[in-house]
Amino acid sequence: MANESNEPLFDDFCLSFLFSEAGDSNRIESFDLSCEASLICSQNPGNDPISEQVSKEVAGESSRQLCDICIGSKDCHEMFTIPSCNHQFCADCICKHVSITVQESAGVVNCPGLDCKATLNIDDCREIVPKDVVTMWADVLCESLIPPLQKFYCPYKDCSAMLVNDSDKIIKESECPYCWRLFCAQCNVSWHSGVDCEEFQKLNDNERQREDLMVYELAKQKEWQRCPNCKFYVEKTEGCLHISCRCSFEFCYACGEKWSSTHGGCRP
Ligand SMILES: [Zn+2]
Ligand SMILES: [Zn+2]
Ligand SMILES: [Zn+2]
Ligand SMILES: [Zn+2]
Ligand SMILES: [Zn+2]
Ligand SMILES: [Zn+2]
Residue 114 CA to ligand 2 center (angstroms) comes to: 8
Q: What ipTM was assigned to the predicted interfaces of this complex? A: 0.52
The answer for 34, left when phi > 0, alpha when psi is -120 to 50, beta otherwise, is alpha
Q: Which residues surround ligand 6, an ion (CB under 5 A)?
A: 252, 254-255, 257, 266
Ligand nearest to the CA of 234: 5
Burial class of 156 by CB neighbour count within 10 A (0 to 12, 13 to 18, 19+): middle
SS3 sequence, 221-258?
Answer: HHCCEECCCCCCEECCCCCCCEEECCCCCEEECCCCCE
Counting DSSP H helices and E strands in the chain, the numbers are 8, 14
So where are the chain's domains?
44-144, 148-224, 225-268
User: Rounded to 5 degrees, what are φ and ψ at 203?
Assistant: -70, 150
Residue 253 CA to ligand 6 center (angstroms) comes to: 6
Ligand nearest to the CA of 266: 6
Ligand nearest to the CA of 86: 2
- The Cα–Cα gap between 229 and 258 comes to 9
Ligand nearest to the CA of 241: 6
Q: What is the pLDDT along the chain (268 residues), one digit of tens a residue?
A: 444 444 444 444 443 443 444 444 444 444 344 444 333 443 444 444 444 444 445 444 468 899 999 999 999 899 999 999 999 999 999 999 999 999 887 888 999 999 999 999 999 999 999 999 999 999 888 888 888 888 888 999 999 888 888 887 888 888 999 999 999 988 888 898 888 898 888 888 878 887 888 888 888 888 888 888 888 888 877 778 888 888 999 988 888 888 888 887 776 5
Classify domain 44-144 at the CATH class level: alpha beta
